[in-house]
Every structure is written in C-alpha cells, then in structure tokens.
Structure 1
Amino acid sequence: MRLLWLLATLVALTSAGILKDAPKERYDNFRVYKLTIQNQFQLSVIEKLAELTKKYNIWKEFDEHTKQLDIMVSPEELSRFQNLLMFNNISSELMIENVQERIDEEQVTATADSGTFGWTKYYELEEIEAWLDEVLATYPAVTEEFIVGKSYEGRTIRGIKISYKTGNPGIFIESNIHAREWITSASATWFINQLLTSKEAEVRNLAESYDWHIVPVFNVDGFEHSHKKDRMWRKTRQPHATNACIGADANRNFDSHWLENNGASNNPCSETFAGDTPGSEPEAKALVEYLTKIKDQFSVYISFHSYGQYLLSPYGHTKEEFPENYDDILTIGKAFADAIEGLPYGTVYQYGSTADVLYVATGTSVDWVFNELDKKIGYTIEYRDKGRYGFILPPVQIIPNCEELMVGMLALIEKTKELGYL
C-alpha cells in the first residue's frame, strides 16, 4: 500500500513538473557593463559583489593596463548596482543591453550546416565528437586519437594527433578549458580541418612539418552544461564538499604558484575558484598526468580562450619577474600580432606576460607546462572581441576569427623555429 502511495506521489510530482530536469537558465534583460576601476577599494567592492550572489557575474577580470572590468548584472539588481557605482564613483559603459537576445541570436542555425559539419554555427559536444570520429576514419594514415582522461561526470576527454612523418617536433593545443568560450572549440575544429584539407603551400608546410596534438573540448562537463543548461557556465562540474556552489576554474587548478598573489580565489562560488588543492579537478589532474607522459613529444604549448584579443605568455603569478627568454617570447608575440593586424579585418592583439599585460593569474595550464615541464614556449590566445559581444561571439565571426588564428599561427611557429625552439 505504501509503495502504491509513493508511486502515485512520484507520478503527481512528475506531472506537475517538479521532478523534471531544471529548465535552461535564461538571461532576459541581464546587462553587461564595462567598468573603469580607479583603485583597489573599488575593485574589492565589485569582486566581492560577484562572489556573494549569482545575480552578478564577472565576464572579464580586471585589466591592470586599461583599468577596466566587464560584469553581467541581473535586472532585479540593476537599480542597486547603479546606486553602488554612483556611491563609489565607478564609471561604466553599457556593452550588452539584453544578454538573452545575444544568446537567442547565436542559436540561429545556418542552413549551410544542415547536412555537413561547418563553421557557420556552434556545435554541441556530441556533434563535435561525431565529427572527430569522421575525421579519424577519413584520414587514418595521418591521424590518431588520444585520450587525456575522464571528467568528473565520466566523459572522455578526447584529442587528435596529426602526424605526417616521424621525427617532427610537436605542438600541443588545449581548447575550451572554460566552458562558455565556444569560439575556442569552433576554432580548434576549423584548425584541425585546415591541417588536413588545405591546399595552400604555407598551411601544408605547417601541417606536415610538425606533429599536432589537439584537444578541441577539454572541459567536457562544463561545455555540455553550457549548451544544455546554462550558456554562461565557465567552471568544471564537480560538487564542493562543504558548499552548494559547483565546480572550479580548471585553469587555476594546476600546481604552478597555485593560489598565490590573489591570482585565483579560495571561494567555491567564485568564477576563479582554484579548487581545494592543486589537481582537485579530475580534468586538470588527468592533463598533468598525460602531458608528463608525453613531455618529450612536444615543444610548444598553446591554450585557446576568449575574449579580449591577447596573446599571453608566462608568467601569470608575478609581473616583477620574467622568463629568461622573455625577449624571444615577445619577438614571437609581435610576429603573431602583426600578422593578424595585417589582415583586412585589422584586428589588434596585445602580447606579453599574463601578469604584466592583463592580470595576475595563478595555477594556469600554460604556466604549469612552462614551469614544471620546462617548455620554453607557451601561450594563451584570448580570441575576439573586446566586449561588444564578449563570450557570445556571433557565428558570422567564427570564420574571420579562424582566419586570424591561421595567419597568427603561421607567423608564431615560423618565428619560434627561426629562434631555434623547434
């Protein structure tokens, strides 16, 4: 009798929608502001605000050069937020009036991609993995799959190695460590396709002269969640033992100056939560183990991110010190930025160390590879744009962004080789 009552209750609750999957997070009338911060007190006010409630979300952390920070604000907090800005004398510029409108526009699918995988829309994890399977089946002589490891939710973190001949120096690319940065996996899959199909002499030389190890979607759990549940999700999906907030910033979870100099947060609700310990996230731990195993197979490490248009190099933990080969790192960075600016789009990239050009960031994958595996060349690429669209870059900009990536990579690798690192 009790069992029947329980079953009836479950049916009633399901009918009422209470036990169904939670609906997709919506951002109707959420706004994004670019703030100009003049002192440490103002910065602390804004950062604390974003850590205390989900009604605020920092999109772009404080840039020490421009003195700017981008933040998303919920409509119910708007009046309070504007009063807070006025009270603390913080100037602001409205960048996005309605985040949900941007998300809806982004979801419009192109008919050109209805039958085949292309680059005029953003794809979900399942679609990217199906495409990867197709690529591996189509080019068995020059491609092979590699497995980095498993995510917290049990998904496989997959990569593809492209190798045209033995003895090539290697380049490792990790993409989409931050879930909401969809342009990164779009760019990674496009780049893979170019290495395999392009007829251009420069691209063929790039493809065939190096071994390419590429992980199109690293944060598989977060990426899936950003598509299915919450477009603005950034972190991993591992629950915290003592806090209701879920996930950590996988790109602050590596054991390289971990949680030093305010380069990450120890608050589980922060977007830059470093985890309770280095390698607490299964994804970061798996990457450390995998890269350690193949450390003799690559010389250059690159991490794809968005947004802001930067090419960032070590160090992230301090702007008081620079790597011994920093002049060479800057020379390579200049070649990358100049090549991109030379395209008709005229897109400008800044380059230099993470801490010096942008902000202190500790426990990052690039710094870990640089410091712990003793690699001399490592970069974080922060793709388009400067904040007009932010993370929700329109699909029409995928191809232009990818074209910039290719000319940038051609210049970066050529200069790296010229300076004797490859």
Structure 2
Amino acid sequence: MLWRVALLTLAALLLTAGKPRHFDSHTVYRVLPTKELHVQFLNEFADEHLHDILFWEDANVANKSADVMVTPRMQSSFVKALKEKSITYSVFIEDVQKLIDKQLPDNVSMGPFGWDVYHTLHDVHAWLNSLPASYPGIVTTVRAGFSFERLEILGVKISYGTGRPIAVIEGTIHAREWISTASVTWFINEILSSTDARVRSIIDQFDFYIFPVTNPDGYEYSWTDDRMWRKTRRPNGPCFGTDGNRNWDHRWSEGGASSDQCREDYAGPKAFSECETKAMSEFLTSLGSDLQVYLSFHNYRQLLIYPYGSSHEVADNAAELHKMAEKAVKALESRYGTHYGFGSVADAIYPATGGSIDWVKGKLGVPYVFLWELRDKGQYGFLLPPDQIIPTSEETFYSVLSILEDVWDALRC
C-alpha cells in the first residue's frame, strides 16, 4: 500500500500549496443500494478511488440512498459500474463548483455581520466578542478550549438571571456544514433581540451556552483550502483529520464509523483523541446537573433526531423524545412548509456511534438531547445558497422553541 501513502501525501501537499481546491464539473449522484452487496461495492469502489469519490451521504445500509461526489475523470467509470451492478442512480448536482461560487460573494467580509452571506471564522469570532458590550450583564464570551491548531472554541453564555436550567447549542462539528454556523449565530441574535412575547416567555427561563463552530480548524480550512472538508485537522498517518462526530466516548467505533485514517467518517485512534471533542466534553461535564438540554445542528437531510446511534440501545425517555420531536417538526413545517422526518439516529438515518448527542445522553445523563439535519434534501446539499440562511434559521427556531417549551413544562412538573 506504499503507493497509496505516497499518493495521499502528494495530494495533501498540493492542497496546502496556497490555492483552494476547485470542484469544476464534479458531479453528485444519488444512488440507491437495494442489497447489502451494493453497499459493500460502493464503499469498496470509494476506497479504491479515494480522491475521485467522496460520499456526501454515506452508503451504510440497503434501501437508503447515498449521495456521492465524483470527479470528471471518474464519472464514466462510476456510472458504468453502477449500471453493471444494477444500482439505480440519478444526477443531483451537475457542477459542484458553480454552487460553491454562489456561496462566496466578493464582499463576504465587508459590512456589518448579517445573515445574507456566510461568514469566515474570523468574522464569527469577532461578532461573538462584540456581543458583551452590546448586551452587558446578559452576554459573556466563553471558551470551551482550543483546537489542534490552537484556535479558540468560542461561544457565548446568555443569561437573564440565576438558577435557570442550562441549554447548550452546538454548531459545526463537520466543517463543510456552513448552514450550521449561520443558523446558530442567527439563533443567538434572535434570543437576544426578539421582542415576541412567546419567544421571551420561554427563552428567559434558560441559561444558554452557544458554540457556533466546534471544529474551528476544519471550518477555517473549508474556507481557505477545501470547501468540502469535513473532519478536524490533526495529522493521522498519511491523511489529516478525524470525524468529530464519531470521536466521542460512547460506544466509540462500534458502528457507522471507519478505522481507515483517510475516510470521511474516521473515528480517530481512540475516543476523545481530538483536542476539540476532548475540550467540549470537559466543558460540558463542568456544567453539572443544571445541563438539561443539548441541541446540535448539522446538514443536510431535513431530519430531527435523538439518541441513540446504536441499534442496540434505546434512550430511557425515548417515547418522550419522540413525542417532542413529532411536535417540533410540525412547528417547523408551519413556517414555510418544509417537511422533516424524525426518530432516533439509528432508525432515521443509519447506525452511527461515537456522536456528541449519544455521549451527552449516555454519559452525562442529560434528558433532552436532539440533533437537526438542516435543509435541504440534496438539491444543494452542503452548498445551500445564502438566500436560504434566514428562512432555514427561522423555521428551525420554531422547532427549537417547541422543544424548549416542552422541556420547561416537564421541568416544572
């Protein structure tokens, strides 16, 4: 396998040579493996062509679609192989670079912080640091720790009093999921500025700790070098990074994660091997029993899910979480008609262990834990246009309020 190591090392050097990777004529296919043999074939094909095949949505189980980005040079071979295996497919995105270009307006760093464009890590942190002066006595900045590259894992605490239950909001474990960062910052602004009586009646009952970017190295890299980067940035053999949402110490690497250092879902050499996941876990532990709610934001699939990612484990209050999720997706849909599915991780997506919400639920015992897979269902995938930031955030906030209302009612009983 020396050739593979050499190839990967060369590719890494090229990617870090100061010029962002381009995805001209890269095509995203939606494929439907109807047999376990199809799933096995897709993963083996991807392993054999590591720099030409990139899963946007993994092929883990039969009869659930997977989204696969393919380089121009590999497209004819990929389509031919699908036809030979009788695997159904369709083209979802013809040219990935065209969508990337639409996400990156020339004036992205100009003007006040807002939600008509996506923002760099520098701009997000600058905005967070400006909030205490704008909301004295209500907002303080908090630092959960540092990343591998010594960037801050920066967030804010929002508090309207003492002795309130704590809700934590986590954004952007996966670097390329920019709508997560954008929506979480929108939530911060809405929590602070809304004058709506319903919003205020529930928001004021909680202390919030909100972290828009929990993988700062990866997020920064997705801006400067590789828009489709997912993982952290610590070197692992010939490759870089670990999937931060497979690295938590709850049923670590039992399923839905890879031991291959170069795969997108690499779980790391051990649980909490990453500076980012270790720092976040220690910060969350320090909050103690007041931590009652944990909300995590990803994209894409339009799902609202709750623990667990293991098919062998059921949350102790699964029926309650299911009922809350069902109500929340109806609230979300009421804004713009956007339909979300819901259920446990294992049931709604596929078995996947080592995720943050499973650890928060299973190890810390936090009762109310949810994860959103935000817009869309694949038309844009990770490359949601900037004009969808506000509507995505608005509708999602309806579902957040629904859950917080249910939590508050439960805690008062």
Give the TM-score normalised by structure 1.
0.91
SS at match of 2:240: coil
Structure 2 residue aligned with 1:385: 376
2:266 is equivalent to residue 270 of structure 1: no
Q: In the aligned structure 2, how far is the partner of 1:202 from the partner of 1:120?
A: 26
Which position in structure 2 is the counterpart of 1:164?
A: 160
Equivalent position to 1:334, from 323, 326, 329: 326
Q: Distance in 1 between matches of 2:100 and 2:214?
A: 22
1:247 aligns with 2:238: no
| 2:152 is aligned with 1:152 | no
Match of 1:141? 137
Equivalent residue for 2:46, pick from 38, 50, 61? 50
- CA RMSD in angstroms comes to 1.8
User: CA offsets per residue over residues 79-108 of structure 1, 9 Å max, x none?
Assistant: 110111011111101000000001011112
Look up the match of 2:102. 105
Q: 2:279 aligns with which of 258, 279, 286?
A: 286
The AA in structure 1 aligned to 2:329 is A
Aligned-residue offset at 1:66: 5.5
The CA distance in 2 between the partners of 1:224 and 1:271, in whole Å, is: 17
Mapped contact 1:109–1:121 kept (Cα < 8 A): no
SS across alignment from 2:58:
strand
Structure 2 partner of 1:79:
76
Q: Which has the larger radius of gyration?
A: 1
1:354 pairs, out of 316, 329, 345, with: 345
Deviation (angstroms), 1:247: 0.3
Mapped to 2, the partners of 1:392 and 1:421 lie a distance apart of: 41
Alpha carbons of structure 1 residues 51 and 302: separation in structure 2 relative to 1, 3 Å: farther
Change (3 A) 1:82 1:188: same
Is the 1:181–1:305 contact (alpha carbons within 8 Å) kept by the matching residues of 2?
A: yes
CA distance in 2, matches of 1:325, 1:421: 17
**2:188 aligned residue:** 192
Shift of 1:419: 3.2
Unpaired runs of 5+ in structure 2? 1-13
1:89 paired residue among 86, 90, 93: 86
Is the CA contact (8 Å cut-off) linking 1:306 and 1:391 kept in structure 2?
Answer: yes
**SS, match of residue 226 in structure 2:** coil
Paired amino acid for 1:358: I
Shift of 1:207: 2.5
Structure 1 CA distance for aligned equivalents of residues 205 and 123 of structure 2: 29
Change (3 A) 1:421 1:76: farther
> Superposed, which structure 2 residues align to 1:21-40 within 5 Å?
21-40=17-36
SS of match in other structure, 1:342 = helix
Please list every run of 5 or more consecutive structure 1 residues that lacks an aligned counterpart in the other structure: 1-17
Q: Which residue of 2 aligns with 1:70?
A: 67
Judged with a 3 Å threshold, the aligned counterparts in structure 2 of structure 1 residues 41 and 396 are, in CA distance, closer, same or farther, namely same
Q: CA deviation at 1:195?
A: 0.8
- Closer/same/farther in 2, CA of residues 66 and 122 from structure 1, 3 Å limit: farther
* Matching residue within 276, 283, 300 for 1:307: 300
Give yes or no for contact 2:171–2:211 (8 Å, CA) kept in 1. Answer: yes
Contact 1:65–1:357, Cα closer than 8 Å, also in 2: no
Contact 1:196/1:207 (8 A) holds in 2: no
Identity score, percent? 40
Find the residue that maps to 1:375 and give its secondary structure.
Answer: coil
